[in-house]
Chains A and B, each alone.
Chain A
Amino acid sequence: MALTSWLPDVLVSRIDYLASLLRKHSLWPMPFATACCGIELMATASSRYDIARFGSEAMRFSPRQCDVMIVAGRVVMKMVPVMQRIWLQMPEPKWCISMGACASSGGVFDTYATVQGIDRFIPVDVYIPGCPPRPEQLIRAILDLQEKIQKTGTIDGREFTHRESYEGPTALACELAAEKTIVAPGDYRTASRLRVPLN
């Protein structure tokens, strides 16, 4: 919004505070529930650990209407383009919670098909450990995200424009070098806008 570029900073910070306050208390989640953590997500939305108390009332399954994408469960390589496409379909401001060990780092499944952490492919804001994490942990993560939004939120999403670099794990010593990896032919890039590949 061009308004914030010429308004005085004292006013912009007040507007940012108000916008973040309103946004953090109505985070509508996009439940990207793939596996077992999806069941704990559903349990968190049910009557015992009600996530609607914290503003996440409407679990809309359409990405166009959501604020937070909660990736609950393991993501396999066939699902990565789908996940990226859904992430790109969400309008800003948007955040991502990686719920569970499998989404954060691959979990128990260090196999040929499971992605070792979704932060290799989409930017993640909050990680939740656990297999599966208890509903209290998910609620804690929503509260942490609310704190993050309050502290860094702006009305026009300026805090996102600075995050241009890749934020995920860097290559480990035992990962295969780029010339040794075998590319599985096929159109895996339909989801993301093509850019200069990593290293």
Chain B
Amino acid sequence: MPLTAITPADEDLIGADREYLYTLNFGPQHPATHTTLRLILTLDGETVVKAVPDIGYLHSGFEKLGEDLDYNQYITIVDRMNYISPVANEIAWHHTVEKLLGIEITPRCKYIRTILAELARISDHLLCIGAAALDLGALTAFLYAFNQREAIYNIIETASGQRFHPSFTRVGGLAADVGDEWIAQVRQFVRTFPKAHADISRLLNRNRIFLDRTRGIGVLTKEEAINFSCSGPVARASGVVRDLRKDEPYLAYDELNGSFKVICAKEGDCYARYLVRMEEMIESLHIIEAAIENMPSGPVNVDVNEKMTIPDKTAVYRSIEGLIQHFELFMWNRRWETPVEEVYGANETANGELGFYIVADGSGRPWRARTRPPSFIHFAIFPHLIEGHLISDVPAVLGSLNIIAAELDR
């Protein structure tokens, strides 16, 4: 959109002369680490009078691709939405697909997916806090956070072979089972993470500069949070006590209900959102610890005879049933038989409620795969949050909302 001067409505301004307002383009390419989003700020000196977001600079047509790929292939696309915690997106997608198909996954798969989802949550919060701190000038917190994320990448690489975008879940289970080395790595992570977390909180929690820059900035009240459809840490920091892991339990969360708490705050400013994320990481660690100690054994995929999940490679090469079941799920005109229905399924990811609305038409590909993106909804409240603040508060508020451009634009 060409850059035009924004003329705010009359009631927004004090004074009849508007020519002192300065329009600043916070371009799609900008120094803050929040990729491609654009803000057109109208400034009165250094105070932001109005902020108009302009998005779409990363809109790649994900939902149109959803109509072209099948239920297993689409995880490659869904991975690339919230690219900070890709496994969580895959788990949410297959949660909805399994809800549509009516499949109940095995207990071992539930526990492994829970551990991966919580690791993804820790990874997301680490990057959000690291990037928010980097935008405010604290480079060391960023490096500490990325160091821990490398440990999480190692764990995901052991499970699936790739650091991120693992494409690990499948309809009815996972791509492969995890071994003892993975369990040992997760245990090692559980042991070493609290120290790194303490390092980051020692750097930032009572840091005078960080407090001055985030306390009282970008306040979101509880009624506004509900009205604007916020969810996740953004809503919980404003007092909305809602967490899908406790309210609509899925995976192994109802069995692990006692091992974690839901962290909420009252003030709703950037500092509250930062604290909620820091504490949520510790609660996630408790969930991982409980899950890894209580992991059930057994198969990780549902029974192959239900014709929903891909059989083992040895069965494919050595038995005729395995071969038939394999090509029934891969051949272009066969695949799953789905009910001609639509379903909405949501997970609590690090950013908020990530939901998928799938319309199925009986064939193996979705008719419509709609994503309910939490970043999109949270970016819409940004103009409301930034009004009246200084321009140096713009990266603070942006960082606290955890806007991920690929989920924003899809």
CB pair A76–B58 under 8 Å, yes or no, is: yes
Report Cα–Cα, A95/B60, bound state, in Å. 26
CB within 8 Å of B: which A75-90 residues: 76, 78-79, 82, 86
CB pair A132–B165 under 8 Å, yes or no, is: yes
- A175 beta carbon closer than 8 Å to chain B: no
- A114 beta carbon closer than 8 Å to chain B: yes
Report Cα–Cα, A114/B58, bound state, in Å. 8
CB pair B147–A109 under 8 Å, yes or no, is: no
Known: A35-B80, A36-B80. Contact between A114 and B405, CB under 8 A? no
Known: A32-B29, A109-B61. Contact between A48 and B147, CB under 8 A? yes
- B187 beta carbon closer than 8 Å to chain A: no
CB pair A111–B64 under 8 Å, yes or no, is: yes
Task: Provide the residues of chain A in CB contact with B30, threshold 8 Å.
Answer: 61
Task: Provide the residues of chain B in CB contact with A46, threshold 8 Å.
Answer: 142-143, 146-147, 150
Known: A46-B143, A46-B147, A47-B146. Contact between A39 and B84, CB under 8 A? yes
CB pair A35–B61 under 8 Å, yes or no, is: no
CB pair B60–A114 under 8 Å, yes or no, is: yes
CB pair B164–A109 under 8 Å, yes or no, is: no
CB within 8 Å of A: which B29-76 residues: 29-31, 33, 35-36, 56-62, 64-65, 76
Task: Provide the residues of chain B in CB contact with A61, threshold 8 Å.
Answer: 29-31
**Interface residues on chain A, number (Cβ under 8 Å):** 33
CB within 8 Å of B: which A55-98 residues: 61-62, 73-74, 76, 78-79, 82, 86
Report Cα–Cα, A112/B31, bound state, in Å. 29
Task: Provide the residues of chain B in CB contact with A9, threshold 8 Å.
Answer: none
- Whole-angstrom distance between the Cβ of A192 and the nearest chain B Cβ: 16
- Whole-angstrom distance between the Cβ of B157 and the nearest chain A Cβ: 10
Known: A36-B83, A42-B146. Contact between A79 and B36, CB under 8 A? yes
Report Cα–Cα, A114/B62, bound state, in Å. 10
Task: Provide the residues of chain B in CB contact with A179, threshold 8 Å.
Answer: none
CB pair A34–B35 under 8 Å, yes or no, is: yes
- Whole-angstrom distance between the Cβ of A22 and the nearest chain B Cβ: 27
Closest residue of B by beta carbon distance from A34: B36
Task: Provide the residues of chain B in CB contact with A34, threshold 8 Å.
Answer: 35-36, 57-58, 405
Question: Contact partner of A82 among B28, B80, B163, CB < 8 A?
Answer: B28
- A143 beta carbon closer than 8 Å to chain B: no
Task: Provide the residues of chain A in CB contact with B60, threshold 8 Å.
Answer: 74, 76, 109, 111, 113-114
**Chain B interface (Cβ < 8 Å from any Cβ of A):** 2, 27-31, 33, 35-36, 56-62, 64-65, 76-77, 80, 83-84, 127, 142-143, 146-147, 149-150, 153, 163-165, 405-406, 409
What are some 11 contacts across the A-B interface (CB < 8 A)? Answer: A35-B406, A38-B35, A39-B127, A43-B146, A46-B143, A62-B31, A74-B58, A76-B57, A82-B27, A108-B80, A132-B163
